[in-house]
């Protein structure tokens, strides 16, 4: 994917369904690992990549995905949630990938959500990514409001790993997903984290290649603005237009305004 359109515009691959998106995304990751066994992956969480992780685990079980030398860096983590909190992204990654493939523990990286000084943690995490040579392949999702990682719509963007204040709509969407699961660890929306540690857009844009996944009609507006709109911190995903190797892998519902 991507080779023929490098540097011109984002490549858009539209597939019929969420399942197709998940399978194609996993194929991209598997192929990248075959090409480079020492791949550095930047990884997302949320509802969108669950199917991709499922397909990666299946590929691993078939002997088609070897993570033994791969290093991973997650995009973000909620401030205040320890790795054993069920809503932490550390828990999410263990459940969906880390416990199910041959990734070495020391090769997986997620910002620490708890600790005395989040600013120190942000600097440590940024330095670790720089030390790894930045990402070879960043897999991203997009929020309904156009956020990437937890780079929320704002009057300005931060380049490197930082503490971000979560917008109300972002907290509400995540809280509702937990409520729908029937297992919400937060008694009320007020208990949901207000902040997160996140890679900045600069951290993300330094990745060699970017694959953005989106599924469903709720993402269609943000995707259109990201692809054809002005570069604006009010829609952080629009800054992906600056990157020379971005592929959007989207299902037909998400692609309806493209
Ligand atoms: P989702 O989140 O996959 O749960 O829709 C994507 C995002 O907010 O980046």
Express each pLDDT in 11-25 by its tens digit. Answer: 999 999 999 999 999
Domain at 122, CATH number: 3.40.50.1360
Whether pLDDT at 202 is above 90: yes
| DSSP output for 78-106 | ETT--TTSTTSHHHHHIIIIITTS---GG
Average confidence (pLDDT) over 203-208: 98
**Inside any domain, residue 84:** yes
pLDDT in tens, 151-169: 999 999 999 999 999 999 9
Backbone angles phi, psi at 214, to 5 degrees: -150, 140
Nearest alpha carbon, ligand 1 atom 8: 143
**Inside any domain, residue 20:** yes
Q: Mean pLDDT in the chain? A: 96
- Whether ligand 1 lies within 6 angstroms of the CB of 120 is answered as no
Band of pLDDT at residue 145, cut at 50, 70 and 90? very high
pLDDT for residue 7: 46
Percent of the chain whose pLDDT exceeds 70: 97
pLDDT for residue 9: 76
pLDDT for residue 17: 98
For residue 143, give every residue at least 6 positions away whose Cβ sits within 8 Å of its Cβ, in sequence order, or none. 152, 170, 173, 222
Band of pLDDT at residue 4, cut at 50, 70 and 90? very low
**3-class DSSP assignment, residue 31:** helix
Burial annotation 239-250 (CB, 10 A radius, 16+ → b, else e): bbeebebbbbbb
| Residue 200 belongs to domain spanning | 3-251
**Inside any domain, residue 258:** no
Just list the catalytic residues: 76, 145, 147, 152
Percent of the chain whose pLDDT exceeds 90: 96
**Inside any domain, residue 256:** no
Whether pLDDT at 193 is above 60: yes
Backbone angles phi, psi at 106, to 5 degrees: -75, -10
Under a CB-based contact definition with an 8 Å cutoff, are residues 42 and 76 in contact? no
**Inside any domain, residue 212:** yes
**Inside any domain, residue 257:** no
Whether pLDDT at 2 is above 50: no
Please choose, from the candidates 170, 145, 160, 165, the residue with its C-alpha nearest in 3D space to the C-alpha of residue 237. Answer: 145
Which of 96, 142, 153 is the best mutation target for the ligand 1 pocket, counting ligand atoms within 8 Å of the beta carbon and taking the most? 142
**Inside any domain, residue 241:** yes
Please give the Cα distance from 217 to 169 (Å, whole number): 17
**Inside any domain, residue 51:** yes
Q: In the chain, how many domains are there?
A: 1
């Amino acid at each position: 994917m991507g080779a023929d359109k490098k540097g011109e515009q984002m490549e858009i691959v539209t597939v019929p369904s969420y399942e197709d998106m998940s399978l194609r995304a996993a194929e991209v990751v598997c192929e990248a690992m075959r090409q480079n066994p020492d791949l550095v992956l930047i990884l997302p969480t949320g509802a969108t990549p669950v199917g991709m992780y499922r397909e990666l685990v299946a590929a691993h079980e078939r002997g088609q995905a070897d993570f033994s030398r791969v290093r991973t860096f997650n995009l973000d983590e909620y401030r205040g949630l320890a790795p054993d909190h069920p809503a932490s992204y550390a828990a999410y990654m263990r459940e969906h990938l880390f416990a199910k493939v041959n990734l070495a523990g020391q090769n997986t990286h997620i910002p620490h959500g708890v600790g005395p000084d989040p600013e120190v943690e942000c600097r440590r995490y940024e330095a670790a990514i720089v030390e790894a040579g930045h990402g070879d392949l960043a897999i991203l999702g997009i929020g309904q409001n156009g956020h990437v990682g937890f780079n929320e719509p704002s009057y300005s963007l931060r380049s490197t790993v930082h503490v971000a204040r979560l917008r109300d709509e972002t907290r509400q969407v995540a809280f509702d997903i937990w409520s729908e699961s029937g297992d919400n660890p937060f008694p009320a929306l007020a208990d949901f984290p207000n902040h997160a540690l996140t890679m900045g857009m600069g951290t993300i844009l330094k990745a060699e290649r970017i694959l953005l996944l989106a599924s469903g009609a709720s993402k269609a507006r943000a995707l259109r603005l990201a692809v054809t709109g002005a570069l604006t911190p009010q829609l952080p995903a629009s800054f992906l237009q600056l990157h020379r190797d971005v592929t959007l892998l989207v299902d037909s519902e998400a692609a309806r305004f493209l």
